[in-house]
Structure 1
Amino acid sequence: MDNLTVDVAVIGVGTAGLAAYRAAKKQGRHAILIEGGPYGTTCARVGCMPSKLLIAAADAAQTIRRAPAFGVHPGPLRIDGRQVMARVRTERDRFVGFVLDGVDKIPVADRLRGHARFIDPRRLQIGDHTTVTAGRIVIATGSSPSIPEQLQHLGKHVVVNDDVFDWDDLPESVAVVGTGVVGLELGQALHRLGVRVAIFGRSNRIAQLTDPVVLESATACFSDELDLRLNTHIVSAQLQDQQVALHTRSADGSERVERFALILAAAGRSPNVAQLSLENTGLELDQQGIPTFDPATMQCGDSAIFIAGDVNLQRPVLHEANVQGIEAGKNAALYPDPESAADRVRFSIVFSEPQIAMIGQSYRTLESTGPGTFAIGAVSFQDQGRSRIMLQNHGTLRVYAEHGSGRLLGAELAGPRAEHLAHLLAWACQSKMTISDMLALPFYHPVVEEGLRTALRDAQYQLTHASTSDDMSIVGR
Structure 2
Amino acid sequence: MLNDMKPIHVNVAVIGAGTAGMGAYRAARAHTDSVLLIEGDVYGTTCARVGCMPSKLLIAAAEAAHQARHTEAFGVQVKDITIDGAAVMARVQRERNRFVGFVLETVEAIPPCDRLKAKVSFQDANTLVTEHGQLIHAQRVVIATGSIPMLPPVLKGLSAHLLTNESVFDLPTLPTSLAVFGPGILGMELAQAMSRLGVKVKVFGVGGGIAGIRDPAIRDYANKVLNEEFYLDASAQVKSVKEWAGGVEVHYLHRDGAWQTEPFEYVLAAAGRTPNLAGLVLENTGLQLNERGVPVFDRFTQQCGSSAIFIAGDASNDIPLLHEAADQGRIAGENAGRYPDIQPGLRRTPLAVVFTDPQIASVGFNLKQLNQQFKDRFAEGLVSFEDQGRSRVMLRNKGILKVYGEHGSGLFLGAEMFGPAAEHTGHLLAWAAQQRMTVSGMLEMPFYHPVIEEGLRTALRDLNHKLRIGPPVIERCMDCGPGA
Question: TM-score normalised to the size of structure 1?
Answer: 0.95
Instruction: For residue 87 of structure 1, report the CA deviation from its aligned partner.
Output: 0.3
Q: Match for residue 470 of structure 1?
A: none
Helix, strand or coil at the partner of 2:53: helix
Q: Deviations over 1:248-289 (max 9, x none)?
A: 136786422111111101012121111111111111112222
Aligned positions of 1:306-317 closer than 5 A: 306-317=310-321
Query: Is 1:17–2:15 an aligned residue pair?
Result: no
Q: Distance in 1 between matches of 2:207 and 2:122?
A: 39
Q: Distance in 2 between matches of 1:442 and 1:432?
A: 18
Instruction: For residue 327 of structure 1, report the CA deviation from its aligned partner.
Output: 0.4
Q: Match for residue 336 of structure 1?
A: 340
Instruction: For residue 465 of structure 1, report the CA deviation from its aligned partner.
Output: 6.5
Higher deviation after alignment, 338-347 or 380-389: 338-347
Query: Is 1:48–2:58 an aligned residue pair?
Result: no
Instruction: For residue 5 of structure 1, report the CA deviation from its aligned partner.
Output: 0.9
One of 115, 118, 129 as aligned partner of 1:114: 118
Instruction: For residue 244 of structure 1, report the CA deviation from its aligned partner.
Output: 1.1
Contact 1:13 1:35 in 2 (8 A): yes
RMSD: 1.7
One of 225, 236, 240 as aligned partner of 1:236: 240
Higher deviation after alignment, 19-28 or 185-194: 19-28
Instruction: For residue 233 of structure 1, report the CA deviation from its aligned partner.
Output: 2.3
One of 426, 436, 457 as aligned partner of 1:422: 426
Higher deviation after alignment, 361-370 or 81-90: 361-370
Aligned positions of 1:413-452 closer than 5 A: 413-452=417-456
Q: Distance in 2 between matches of 1:253 and 1:196?
A: 21
Q: Match for residue 276 of structure 2?
A: 272
Helix, strand or coil at the partner of 2:344: coil
Q: Match for residue 286 of structure 1?
A: 290
Q: Deviations over 1:135-186 (max 9, x none)?
A: 1000000001111222121111111011111010011100001110011000
One of 9, 17, 21 as aligned partner of 1:5: 9
Q: Match for residue 194 of structure 1?
A: 198
Helix, strand or coil at the partner of 2:121: strand
Contact 1:152 1:158 in 2 (8 A): no
Q: Match for residue 124 of structure 1?
A: 128
Counterpart of 1:235 in structure 2: which amino acid? K
Cα 1:37–1:343 shift into 2, 3 Å:
closer
Contact 2:30 2:337 in 1 (8 A): no
One of 349, 353, 366 as aligned partner of 1:349: 353
Instruction: For residue 230 of structure 1, report the CA deviation from its aligned partner.
Output: 2.3
Query: Is 1:145–2:146 an aligned residue pair?
Result: no
Q: Deviations over 1:360-405 (max 9, x none)?
A: 0001111234653101111000001110011000010000001111
Helix, strand or coil at the partner of 1:358: strand
Q: Deviations over 1:6-26 (max 9, x none)?
A: 111000000000000000011
Q: Match for residue 296 of structure 1?
A: 300
Cα 1:333–1:414 shift into 2, 3 Å:
same
Q: Distance in 1 between matches of 2:460 and 2:218?
A: 16
Q: Distance in 2 between matches of 1:335 and 1:169?
A: 50
Q: Match for residue 220 of structure 2?
A: 216
One of 62, 67, 92 as aligned partner of 1:63: 67
Q: Distance in 1 between matches of 2:258 and 2:331?
A: 50
5+ long unaligned stretches in structure 2: 471-482
Query: Is 1:88–2:92 an aligned residue pair?
Result: yes
Q: Match for residue 161 of structure 1?
A: 165
Q: Match for residue 477 of structure 2?
A: none
Aligned residues: 469
Helix, strand or coil at the partner of 2:156: helix
Q: Distance in 1 between matches of 2:339 and 2:374?
A: 40
Helix, strand or coil at the partner of 2:183: coil
Q: Match for residue 231 of structure 2?
A: 227
Q: Deviations over 1:85-120 (max 9, x none)?
A: 000000000000000001110000000011011111
Q: Match for residue 479 of structure 2?
A: none
Q: Distance in 2 between matches of 1:57 and 1:382?
A: 26
Instruction: For residue 440 of structure 1, report the CA deviation from its aligned partner.
Output: 0.4
Q: Match for residue 178 of structure 2?
A: 174
Counterpart of 2:53 in structure 1: which amino acid? M
5+ long unaligned stretches in structure 1: 467-475
Query: Is 1:27–2:37 an aligned residue pair?
Result: no
Instruction: For residue 240 of structure 1, report the CA deviation from its aligned partner.
Output: 3.7
Q: Match for residue 464 of structure 2?
A: 460
Helix, strand or coil at the partner of 2:154: helix
Q: Distance in 1 between matches of 2:357 and 2:409?
A: 34
Query: Is 1:362–2:358 an aligned residue pair?
Result: no
Q: Match for residue 329 of structure 2?
A: 325
Q: Distance in 2 between matches of 1:77 and 1:37?
A: 41
Q: Match for residue 473 of structure 1?
A: none
Cα 1:404–1:343 shift into 2, 3 Å:
farther
Contact 2:242 2:248 in 1 (8 A): yes
Contact 2:12 2:35 in 1 (8 A): yes
Q: Match for residue 133 of structure 1?
A: 137
Contact 2:233 2:255 in 1 (8 A): no
Q: Distance in 1 between matches of 2:199 and 2:344?
A: 48
Q: Distance in 1 between matches of 2:205 and 2:144?
A: 30
Instruction: For residue 3 of structure 1, report the CA deviation from its aligned partner.
Output: 1.2
Contact 2:195 2:229 in 1 (8 A): no
Cα 1:430–1:310 shift into 2, 3 Å:
same
Instruction: For residue 241 of structure 1, report the CA deviation from its aligned partner.
Output: 4.6
Contact 2:327 2:347 in 1 (8 A): no
Counterpart of 1:256 in structure 2: which amino acid? Q
Cα 1:395–1:330 shift into 2, 3 Å:
same
Counterpart of 2:468 in structure 1: which amino acid? T
Percent identity over the alignment? Answer: 52
One of 193, 204, 210 as aligned partner of 1:206: 210
Q: Distance in 2 between matches of 1:371 and 1:8?
A: 44
